[in-house]
Amino acid sequence: MKRFLAVTLGILTAIGGFVDIGDLVANALVGSRFGLSLAWVVVVGVVGICLFAEMAGRVAAVSGRPVFDLVRERLGPRAGLLNLAASFGINLLTLAAEIGGAALALELATGIDYLLWVPAVGLVAWLVMWRVRFETMERVFGLAGLALVVFLVAFFALDPDYGELGRQLTHNPSDDGAATYWYYAVALLGAAMTPYEVFFFSSGGVEERWTRRDLGVMRANVFVGFPLGGLLSIAIAACAATVFLPQMIEVGTLGQMVLPAGLAFGQIGLALVIFGVFAATFGATLETALSSGYSISQYFGWQWGKYVRPREAARFHATLLVSTIVAVALILTTIDPIKVTEYSLVLSAAALPLTYLPVLMIANDPDYMGDRVNGRLSNTLGTLYMILLLLVAVAAIPLMLATKAGQ
């Protein structure tokens, strides 16, 4: 059990990346439109995030330096500031969306309008960040998010047409243009590799005081957490491909995307999936809020972290408080939480290469790493992914404009 609990950081991190509010709906939408023909993107994303999270985790364990320290150190103050602005923007927009998502889950459970839940969700999230120990937080929300496994079980219970789904792996069943297909490919890859995952993961490693001896634990986190996140994301798409695609239904809201679990297991399934959605979005709320605090503190060199008392990390906690208030205000303007995550894709495009390049460089720097520098495999794959991320960064905005964000 203790062994299992040790990997909750990886699980919580992956949930925030793969099945947060934007991705819950995006995965279902993709499944209902393109079947499983985009599943390969999730696999590519899982390999990429495992690769870079492992590097970032290794740097954090060996040298004690989290990712944004590396960004500032290798890119210098100017490019570092550009990355900070983009990352902070993504974090704030995503934070707003996640708060809205958790509130939407509560609306599905109670029937009470989500806007009434928004301030409560914001307040509870802040209280958790203010008072709850990091380990406790990561265990509770990492494990609760696992309720989404109900999608995987539901998929098998729905008695899918395996032959058809298998065919979709290589054939796009949709008659939409190629631009739309590639827009969603870029969006899914961007979601899988969002920078706040490595900010959170490496800072979490420092919060847990990882050392060289914890490299095994760190790797277990990476290689359990992220593939699990990817699996959930494919399961959601597969459910949608089974239930919605044959009926030509296009899913666009949270209420619609949880339906397959209800069809498979009735009220219990529905209750479980809504609980899972709430846990995942609330976990992502914590992840994005903390990441905003981590990134800004690490850029400016402030004391950060939950491993010290709040008063010893005053500027860090002030950032958390202000970010949460701004995010709540943003979502109370009745802006659509799911649309918001699409705009953060634009900011992601700039932040992706600017985040992963310094990680790749420092994972090779013996000053930091001693004998734990990258091996040949990490470097080869790392270089390939850098090229891929540059392509994504270039393609993201034109694709978004050309397809009107995937319509």
Partner 1 sequence: MTGRVLHAHLHLLDRQVVRADGRLLCKVDDLEIETGEVPYVTAILAGPLALGPRVGGVIGRLMTGTTRLFRPEEGPAPPRVPMSLVAEIGGAVTVGGDVPEASLERWVRDHLVDPLPGSGGGQAGAGAPRPVRRSEVPVRDRLSSLVGRRVVDRDGGPVGQVADVQLTQDGPLLGETTQALRLSGLVVAPRHTGQLFGYERGPGGNSPALVRVVIRRLHQGSRFVAWEQIGDAGDPIRLTEPRAALLPLEELFTRGDASASA
Partner 2 sequence: MVALLMAAPLVAGCASPAWDDADYGSKAGATAEAAASSVALVRLAVENEARLTRPYLQTLLTETATELGGVDSQFGAVQPPSQAAVAVRAEITGLTSEAAERVRALLNEVRLREIRDPGKAAADLAALGDRLRAFAGEQPS
Using CB under 8 A, list all residues that contact partner 1. 63-65, 69, 72-81, 130-131, 298, 300-304, 308-312, 314-315, 317-318, 321, 357, 360-361, 364-368, 373-376, 379-380, 382-383, 386
Q: Evaluate the CA torsion angle 126, 220, 364, 369 in order and state its sign.
A: positive
Question: Which residue lies nearer to partner 2 by CB, 114 or 181?
Answer: 114
Return the structure tokens found at 93: 């927009």
Q: What is residue 294's DSSP assignment?
A: H
> Residues 204-243: x/- map of binding to partner 2 (CB under 8 A)?
---------------------------------------x
CB-based contacts of 27, cutoff 8 Å, min separation 6: 19, 188, 233, 234, 236, 237, 240, 257
CA atoms within 13 A of residue 200's CA, in its CB half-sphere? 33
Q: Is 23 in the site for partner 2 (CB under 8 A)?
A: no
> Residues 333-352: x/- map of binding to partner 2 (CB under 8 A)?
-xxx-xx-------------
Find which of partner 2, partner 1, none residue 376 binds, CB within 5 to 8 Å per kind: partner 1
For tokens 């303007």, name the residue.
333
Choice from 115, 149, 157, 215 touching partner 2 (CB under 8 A) = 115
Minimum CB separation of residue 325 from partner 1 in Å reads: 12
Q: Evaluate the CA torsion angle 18, 21, 25, 30 in order and state its sign.
A: negative
Minimum CB separation of residue 263 from partner 2 in Å reads: 6
Alpha carbons 195 and 49: distance in angstroms, whole number: 9
Find which of partner 2, partner 1, none residue 161 binds, CB within 5 to 8 Å per kind: none
Minimum CB separation of residue 307 from partner 1 in Å reads: 10
Return the structure tokens found at 296: 């800004």
Find which of partner 2, partner 1, none residue 107 binds, CB within 5 to 8 Å per kind: partner 2
The total of other beta-carbon atoms located within 10 Å of residue 2's CB is: 5
Q: Is 250 in the site for partner 2 (CB under 8 A)?
A: yes
Find which of partner 2, partner 1, none residue 308 binds, CB within 5 to 8 Å per kind: partner 1
Question: Which residue lies nearer to partner 2 by CB, 153 or 263?
Answer: 263
Q: Is 173 in the site for partner 2 (CB under 8 A)?
A: no
Alpha carbons 213 and 140: distance in angstroms, whole number: 25
Minimum CB separation of residue 42 from partner 2 in Å reads: 24
Alpha carbons 382 and 388: distance in angstroms, whole number: 10
Q: Is 161 in the site for partner 2 (CB under 8 A)?
A: no
Q: Is 157 in the site for partner 2 (CB under 8 A)?
A: no
Letter for the amino acid at 200?
A: F
Q: What is residue 404's DSSP assignment?
A: T
Alpha carbons 186 and 364: distance in angstroms, whole number: 28
Return the structure tokens found at 258: 């949880």
Q: Is 244 in the site for partner 2 (CB under 8 A)?
A: yes
For tokens 């870079």, name the residue.
52
Find which of partner 2, partner 1, none residue 244 binds, CB within 5 to 8 Å per kind: partner 2
Return the structure tokens found at 39: 């599943």
Which H or E run contains 336? none
Choice from 188, 259, 286, 345 touching partner 2 (CB under 8 A) = 259
Alpha-helix residue ranges (DSSP H) falling in 244-258: 254-257
Minimum CB separation of residue 247 from partner 2 in Å reads: 5
Alpha carbons 328 and 179: distance in angstroms, whole number: 34
> Residues 84-113: x/- map of binding to partner 2 (CB under 8 A)?
--------------------x--xxxxx-x
Question: Which residue lies nearer to partner 1 by CB, 7 or 393?
Answer: 393
Q: Tell me which stretch binds partner 2 (CB under 8 A): 42-50, 123-131, 258-266, 385-393.
A: 258-266
Q: CA end-to-end span of the chain, whole Å?
A: 46
Q: What is residue 363's DSSP assignment?
A: T
**Which residues of this protein are in contact with partner 2, per CB under 8 A?**
104, 107-111, 113-115, 243-244, 247-253, 255-256, 258-259, 262-263, 266-267, 270-271, 274, 334-336, 338-339, 404-405, 407
